[in-house]
Structure 1
Amino acid sequence: MGLILSTWPRGRVDDDVPPSTTVFPLLAVPTSSRLTLTLSSSAVSAGDRRSQWSSQHCSPHFHLSPCRQKATRSPVELSSDAVRAEIGVKGGLHVWEVSWNPDHRGSHAVIGISKQDSPLHGSGYKVLIGGDSLSWGWELKTNQLWHGGKPLDCYPCEKKMLHSQATEDFGRKSSNSRHRKEPETPLVIPERVQLVLDADAGTLGFAVNGSFLGVAFRDLPAGVELFPAVSSVRGGARIELRYLNGTTRNPPALMALCGLSIIQNLGEQRLNQVDKLPLPPLLHRYLLFCF
């Protein structure tokens, strides 16, 4: 299955993307056809139970909306709080989207996955998801990966190499300062982040603005139920969960691969011309509603 992409055909973000987020295509890594299809396929219904936070696996300082897709943290001091999804997975490739306003994150804002027994509350301000051996997290403020209570590498891995180049390319450095070494600053992670869990391969990665940033964690436990999870210390932080799509370990169907190839060749600027292709109406509908 030889299709490889670093940016999938139709991003799941708003069309009006701020210039500061255009650095992410430079950090994208190629994806397999299985992942590309999963990322580019239409999202499942917003009412899917896999889009819900759990009312049982939730810190008492998180309050859920009636639909349980939004979790809001109470303004409690000296407390770290987490919430897990209602439904976890033991196999397959799955993609969730976490929406979290950058202005409402504060410090220790973490997204990732956890087992069912990972702690959901702690005293003081600290990383919870990734703060033990039962969870794996990405701290959005510092770009640091966490597991086993320890900070690991920065993520994405290529950030150190490409960040200064990217900021030059997008005009964030003046011509007089291009030869002056400047301290590295964390990337500003936008509101929407896709969490990509391949339970079959035992990997967790993240995608931003249509760009898959690569594998963040490997060797995740096999056959163990894993749940999307977040932790926060900021009062008023509102975090929304949306399950987008998933697939089994089986190879992609030939029809899906052909459809993806057509969409790729059309390009994003010509997606509205699908109905003009010399194809039967049934295939027009397939391309319009499945990608």
Structure 2
Amino acid sequence: MTMYRHPASDSTDCIRGKTGFTRNVHVWEIGWKKPQRGTHTIVGVATSSAPLHARGYKALVGNSSESWGWDVVKNKLYHKSIHTGSYPKINGSPSIFIVPDKFFVILDMDKGTLSFMANGIYFGVAFDGLRGKTLYPIVNTVWGHCEVTMKYIGSSKSDIFIELKM
């Protein structure tokens, strides 16, 4: 699924996947070119109750108890409007990481975790405590004319190794 955002001044829009997940491991690829990201470029998961539009430029993903998100420009994690940490932590330390145009989201509903991966590097768990919810892929956009693609890769049980073909 590819979303094209028409230019709309002083507003924020989210795109949410059509399928919610409650169990197993799910992986999807995000395609989002760096020049089209803007100031609030957040990728994550949300319940069906999370808002999808707001006036002003803001982080809707991670702004409430209904969503969890990674700002891929600022390298920060957000949930309940709280900056919950720097991400990714490569070799145990926070690092400035320029996220490539394509990267992966890994949602393990059996363990209740959300993780990310890019350039063959697994970044570790960004969020935990997600079990018992129905969660959908979501991205936060403010940049007019941006195109964001979410491509579902597949699912598996938690105890089976997932191989990502990049």
Counterpart of 2:137 in structure 1: which amino acid? Answer: P
Aligned mate of 2:61, from 109, 113, 129: 129
Q: CA deviation at 1:152?
A: 1.7
Q: TM-score, normalised by structure 2?
A: 0.92
Which residue is equivalent to 2:155? Answer: 246
> How big is the alpha-carbon RMSD for the aligned residues of Structure 1 and Structure 2?
2.1
> How many residues are paired up?
164
User: Which runs of no fewer than 5 residues in structure 2 stay unpaired?
Assistant: none
Kept in 1: contact 2:28–2:154 (CA 8 A): yes
Deviation per residue, 1:49-68 (Å, 9 max, x gap): xxxxxxxxxxxxxxxxxxxx
Identical counterparts, % of pairs: 34
Corresponding position: 1:187 with 2:119: no
Report SS of the residue matched to 2:35: helix
Amino acid corresponding to residue 25 of structure 2 in structure 1: L
Measured in 2, the distance between the counterparts of 1:160 and 1:127 equals: 27
- 1:87 has 2:19 as partner: yes
The Cα of 1:141 is off from its aligned counterpart by 1.0
The letter for the 1-side match of 2:81 is G
Displacement of 1:119 after TM fit?
0.3
- Is the counterpart of residue 200 in structure 1 residue 110 in structure 2? yes
Q: 1:83 Cα deviation (Å)?
A: 1.2
**Cα deviation digits, residues 7-50 of structure 1 (max 9, x gap):** xxxxxxxxxxxxxxxxxxxxxxxxxxxxxxxxxxxxxxxxxxxx
Once residues 91 and 45 of structure 2 are traced to their aligned partners in structure 1, the CA distance between those partners, rounded to angstroms, is: 22
**Distance in 2 of aligned mates of 1:71 and 1:205:** 22
Structure 2 residue corresponding to 1:161, chosen from 83, 93, 109: 93
Is 1:107 matched up with 2:17?
no
Letter in 2 for 1:210: G
* CA–CA distance in structure 2, aligned partners of residues 231 and 77 of structure 1: 15
1:209 aligns with 2:119: yes
Greater fraction strand: 2
1:141-188 CA-to-partner distances (Å, cap 9, x unmatched) read 10010100121211012478374xxxxxxxxxxxxxxxxxxxxxx321
Name the CA distance, whole Å, in 1 between partners of 2:91 and 2:43. 19
TM-score, scaled relative to structure 1? 0.53
Greater RCO (Cα-Cα under 8 Å, separation 6 or more) = 2
Local SS of the residue matching 2:89 = coil
Q: Which runs of 4+ in 1 moved over 4 A?
A: none
Query: Going by fraction, where is helix more abundant, 1 or 2?
Result: 1
Contact 2:88–2:97 under 8 Å retained in 1: no
Segments of structure 1 that go 5 or more residues without pairing to the other structure are 1-68, 164-185, 261-289
Q: CA deviation at 1:111?
A: 0.5
The 1:189–1:114 alpha-carbon spacing in structure 2 relative to 1, beyond 3 Å, is: same
Match of 1:103, SS state, is helix
Partners of 2:147 and 2:92 lie apart in 1 by 30
